[in-house]
A and B are shown apart, each in its own frame.
Chain A
Amino acid sequence: MWRVIAKREILHNLYSLRFLLSLVLVLGVMAAGSLSFGRRQAAALGNYREARALAVKAMQEDAGSNASQLAVGRRNFDLRPRDNAFMDDAKEKYLPNAIIYSAWNVFGIKSRNDSANPLLAKYDELTWAFIAALLVSFVALLFTFDAVSGEKETKTLSLELANPVPRAAILGGKYVSAVASVTAIMAVGAVVSLLLLIATGGAGMGSATAIEAAAFVGAAALLAAVMAAFGLLCSVLARSSNVSLLLALCVWLLFAVVIPNSSGFVAKTVYPIEKAEAVQKKINQAFDDLNKAAPPGSWMSQSNNPFLPQHELRANLQRKRMAAEKAIRDDYYRTMFRQFERTRGVTAISPAASFGYLAEAVVGGGYARFRKDWDDIHVYQGQFQNWFTALDAKDPKSPHWYNPNEDVSTTREKVSFDIVPQFAERPMSAGERGRAALPYAAVMAIMACLAYGAAYALFVRYDVR
């Protein structure tokens, strides 16, 4: 029975003004986003390649100078602009997008200057994720807010229930039809967007893109399912469609506007972290303590004499300073990650916010990508260090006193740039994406079940007269 109702509802939706307007709006925004994407991606890649070329040139120069120079020099690993950013930019231009490292240490993170215009107020890019979080959530509510209360007003609900139709079938049919209608709009938008991107050369269409696009539409369907369930709940909570509309709008404002935009407030008040000045103070204190405890001559240096005995003391002191700073900074980074992740955990009560995090995992971008790169570069740094120490061990002209900041007491031989280990970013694997996506997908599924369950419980008791 519910299938008959769902079919009827889908047809009803297809001919409705709201479907037409939703389709026009989604397609319009998708088209605008897709047509602009190629241009901005080309500009972003141009900037990235320019910065990358300068970084490689600097490394080549250091390698051509001496291997120690190459090892101690601080390098930037810049995150490449993602080719699938048209699906979800994952706010990467506002996130830190570079990691600073050397053979001895992963120092920290930074935001590249070119990623965002500081004079332009922060905004959401016209990606699929923006369209889904804003429009799909809105349209899903719009398709369901009067599903029950509207039919009650027009008296068709009492007529329907005068027949032997289970209430579960009516509600289920309406729910399925709304989710299907909204998903169809998103799917059509995605296909049109992909076609436009291919036509304008904005993106290539490989199997990976197709799978990501399909997974993205699936995530959007989940969002539609949650919001449609809340729409039904609003509909059965009110006696008139006017009131259920107001409730639905309040729900939308709460989920799509208020909660996602309260993240900064939550982070600051619920999970405050130490100030950067206090951390710097700790580092300075650690440096002072180490300097005081260092044996006399630990700061002596003579650039043309690698075997100067004091160079060993100097190297020891520099290593201790680096280790002390690293311990403090890594601890601080862990609190940053924790603050960020916990804040996301709290704001995941908003389906729109949860969808944002889910979409980010689906496309393999944003914070999940950054964390993966952060971990990967630590592994690479270990390899780089091992490579350098092995190289240094072969040089009889080196005293092998490892100084992580200077090239005074390790090998000064030139090295071919071709044999230097390079860090290459790997895309997030399906398993990593799945692990990042699962908690948010689960939260959304639970919310959909709870909202639908509540709507059903109320609908069973609903006075249809």
Chain B
Amino acid sequence: MLLHIARKEFHNNLLSARFAIGFLLCLVLIPFSVLLGIGDYRDQAGQYRIDRDAAEKTMKEIRTWSYLRPILVFPPEPLGIFGKGISGQVGNQVKIRLGEKPLLPEGKAAARDNPFLASFFSVDFVDIAAIVLSLLALLFSYDALSREKEDGTLRQQMANPLPRSTLLAGKLVGILMTLLPILVFCFLVGGLIILFSGDLSFSAREWGRLALLALISLGYLVLFVLVGMFVSARTRSSVSSLVLCLFLWVFFVFVVPNMASYAAESFVPAKSRDNLASVTKDMDRGLRERQEAATKSLPRADWDMNWWMSGQDDGREESYGCSASFFEYKRQRASIEIPMMIDNADTKWAPQAAYLESLSRQARAADNLAMISPAGIYRAVAGTLCGTDWAALVRRLDDVRRYRETFISYLRGKDIWSKYEWITAAPPAKMITADAIIEKLSGGRFKTLAAYDAWAGKQADVKSRWDVLRVGKLAGGQPDDFPYLVANDMPGYIERREGVGRSLEGGAVARLGLLAAECLVLFALAYVAFIRYDVR
């Protein structure tokens, strides 16, 4: 009997205008959303290639160990085509620094070349599925009982020895039989577009997750069908049922997710980034003072002159053409300053971690509040499956920070900041005194630095003081005189491809459980409401 009712319901729905229009809606919106996702993915992949090549070039073209700083560029997540999550809002790379632990990714976000475009929102497959599937589920179920009551057919059916539970279950199965082809169609279209896109290839991992997403979408669909049936069993007319269902739809799908984020931002405050910057700036200032105090007693060089020098933040330095004693001074200074800088990074991490935790807490609160709505649950679980939610980013950053420790251990193992290679590619054997440098550069005109200084002090034109030192050439005075550094044994960063199990950690399973529990409760409520329903 149940199948008989289901089949009748299925046939009725199949021939209805709502099926045709619903199908048409999916036919237009689903490919549109997938194509949007593919467009964004291609942009991100293109940017990834540019950034990766630039990072590789930077890493290859270094000569001193102090410039060795891995730049980790992350490829876009292929499933971001279906659920972009926060992938478009954050950068795609992390630079490993000694004086700073990675806080958030750097690089361009999705708005990329025009930051004004960041104010444009976009929808993805998951958003469209959340909107359209819930709408169709309600449109097919809002009048499941009330319409039949209005037509008088419900009374006729109930005049027969037909259990109400069978009728309710039959209608549920019938509606699901109608909606299932639409759901399958949505995912099939999405999958086919990916298959025929040529430059996109999904691994078994991605296909498996997509299948899981389809399964979760089915659960989401069932939930909204049950909402519709419950409303239908609680209202006397199909118009009232429809109005109520549509308001519930707008509330749950559009209002609650925005309200959740708004409330989270209002009531779970995030720490100020400007304040954090100010605090860490003070810590860096303190570090510089400590470094100066610690290196003050170092023996001064005979001539603190670099003929070629490049110095940047984070202790990066490259010097050529210095006197042996100046190289020695720099070596000793680095051996003191770099460990202090690494320790300072650990100290700075306390406020940084608190800041990051406040951001995570806010995002978590938004997710939890959004669980009031099935659409919130669906979007959160989909973000987890697609690997584009904030939790995946936080886990990746944890991995990156662990990698930084490995990298520092590698450098420490070599005791590299106590060696000349840290600051120059010039071999110690070729380092000469200041007097020898002056003699070479002046073409023998001055034998000692003191002689040169005495002469220079009498010159009014500053330029002429230096022109006399451009006569001769200093071997090893330029970086081009040395080959690039080879650090083949440097540990590489291995991106962990998260299994479904790890992805679903942190509440996703609980959310799925909640979705299932809501389905059961709604079925029970619909059943109870229908038992009491006056079919006359």
Residues of A within 8 A of B (CB): 17-18, 21-22, 25, 29, 32-33, 36-37, 39-40, 43, 46-47, 50-51, 54, 91, 94-96, 109-114, 117-126, 130, 134-135, 138, 142, 240, 242-243, 245-247, 249-250, 253, 257-258, 260-265, 267-269, 273-277, 296-297, 300, 302, 305, 308, 310, 336-337, 339-340, 343, 366-367
Residues of B within 8 A of A (CB): 16-18, 21-22, 25, 29, 32, 36, 39, 43, 50, 85-86, 89-90, 104, 108, 110, 112-123, 127, 131-132, 135, 139, 240, 242-244, 246-247, 250-251, 254-255, 257-259, 261-267, 269-270, 272-275, 277-278, 359-360, 362-363, 366, 383, 390, 393-394, 462-463
Contacts A36-B267, A96-B116, A264-B117; is A242 near B272 (CB within 8 Å)? no
A261–B113 touching, CB < 8 Å? no
B116–A95 touching, CB < 8 Å? yes
With A17-B240, A120-B390, A250-B21 known, 6 other A-B pairs at CB within 8 A are A18-B247, A54-B278, A138-B250, A245-B242, A249-B139, A305-B462
Residues of A within 8 A of B264 (CB): 120
Distance between Cα atoms of A253 and B362 in the complex (Å): 30
A308–B462 touching, CB < 8 Å? yes
A94–B273 touching, CB < 8 Å? no
A40–B265 touching, CB < 8 Å? yes
Main secondary structure of the interface of A (DSSP, over half): helix
Residues of A within 8 A of B258 (CB): 123-126, 130
B17–A118 touching, CB < 8 Å? no
Tell me the minimal C-beta distance from A263 to chain B in angstroms: 4
B113–A275 touching, CB < 8 Å? yes
For B91, the closest partner residue in chain A by CB is A118
Tell me the minimal C-beta distance from A176 to chain B in angstroms: 22
For A301, the closest partner residue in chain B by CB is B462
User: Which of A40, A94, A117, A135 contacts B118, CB < 8 Å?
Assistant: A94
Residues of B within 8 A of A96 (CB): 115-116
- Between-chain CB contacts (< 8 Å), 17 pairs: A18-B247, A25-B247, A33-B262, A36-B266, A39-B266, A50-B272, A110-B115, A118-B90, A120-B265, A130-B258, A245-B242, A246-B139, A261-B120, A268-B43, A273-B113, A275-B112, A305-B462
Residues of B within 8 A of A310 (CB): 462-463
For B124, the closest partner residue in chain A by CB is A261
A260–B139 touching, CB < 8 Å? no
Tell me the minimal C-beta distance from B372 to chain A in angstroms: 12
Residues of B within 8 A of A263 (CB): 117, 120-122
Contacts A96-B116, A123-B257, A257-B131; is A50 near B86 (CB within 8 Å)? no
Distance between Cα atoms of A253 and B246 in the complex (Å): 13
B108–A276 touching, CB < 8 Å? yes
Distance between Cα atoms of A143 and B244 in the complex (Å): 13
Distance between Cα atoms of A18 and B250 in the complex (Å): 13
Distance between Cα atoms of A47 and B270 in the complex (Å): 11
A119–B122 touching, CB < 8 Å? no
Tell me the minimal C-beta distance from B267 to chain A in angstroms: 7
Distance between Cα atoms of A300 and B461 in the complex (Å): 12
A297–B463 touching, CB < 8 Å? yes
Distance between Cα atoms of A99 and B18 in the complex (Å): 51
Distance between Cα atoms of A149 and B238 in the complex (Å): 15
Distance between Cα atoms of A114 and B277 in the complex (Å): 11
User: Which of A142, A308, A367 contacts B119, CB < 8 Å?
Assistant: A367
A121–B89 touching, CB < 8 Å? yes
Distance between Cα atoms of A250 and B22 in the complex (Å): 9
Distance between Cα atoms of A351 and B17 in the complex (Å): 26
B250–A95 touching, CB < 8 Å? no
B113–A300 touching, CB < 8 Å? no
User: Which of B16, B118, B131, B262 contacts A253, CB < 8 Å?
Assistant: B131
User: Which of B17, B90, B254, B363 contacts A243, CB < 8 Å?
Assistant: B17
Residues of A within 8 A of B243 (CB): 17-18, 21, 142
B363–A119 touching, CB < 8 Å? yes
B17–A120 touching, CB < 8 Å? no
B86–A118 touching, CB < 8 Å? yes
User: Which of A258, A297, A300, A340 contacts B123, CB < 8 Å?
Assistant: A258
Would you list the 5 A-B pairs with minimal beta carbon distance, nearest first? A113-B273, A263-B120, A36-B266, A119-B390, A91-B119
Tell me the minimal C-beta distance from B431 to chain A in angstroms: 27
B86–A121 touching, CB < 8 Å? yes
Distance between Cα atoms of A383 and B176 in the complex (Å): 70
Distance between Cα atoms of A243 and B394 in the complex (Å): 47
For A90, the closest partner residue in chain B by CB is B119
User: Which of B36, B117, B244 contacts A267, CB < 8 Å?
Assistant: B117
Distance between Cα atoms of A42 and B533 in the complex (Å): 51
A39–B89 touching, CB < 8 Å? no
Distance between Cα atoms of A402 and B390 in the complex (Å): 49
User: Which of A25, A276, A343 contacts B255, CB < 8 Å?
Assistant: A25
B112–A246 touching, CB < 8 Å? no
Residues of B within 8 A of A242 (CB): 16-18
User: Which of A119, A262, A268 contacts B359, CB < 8 Å?
Assistant: A119
Distance between Cα atoms of A340 and B117 in the complex (Å): 7
Residues of B within 8 A of A240 (CB): 17
B39–A268 touching, CB < 8 Å? yes
B123–A261 touching, CB < 8 Å? yes
Residues of A within 8 A of B117 (CB): 263-264, 267, 339-340, 343
For B242, the closest partner residue in chain A by CB is A245
For A336, the closest partner residue in chain B by CB is B114
Residues of B within 8 A of A269 (CB): 39
Residues of A within 8 A of B254 (CB): 134
Residues of B within 8 A of A122 (CB): 89, 121
Residues of B within 8 A of A47 (CB): 272, 274-275
Residues of A within 8 A of B127 (CB): 261
Distance between Cα atoms of A261 and B242 in the complex (Å): 27
Distance between Cα atoms of A337 and B116 in the complex (Å): 8
B120–A267 touching, CB < 8 Å? yes
Highest count of chain B CB atoms <10 Å: which of A29, A268, A274? A268
For A245, the closest partner residue in chain B by CB is B242
Residues of A within 8 A of B25 (CB): 250, 253
Distance between Cα atoms of A296 and B469 in the complex (Å): 15
Distance between Cα atoms of A418 and B57 in the complex (Å): 50
Tell me the minimal C-beta distance from B34 to chain A in angstroms: 12
Tell me the minimal C-beta distance from B119 to chain A in angstroms: 4
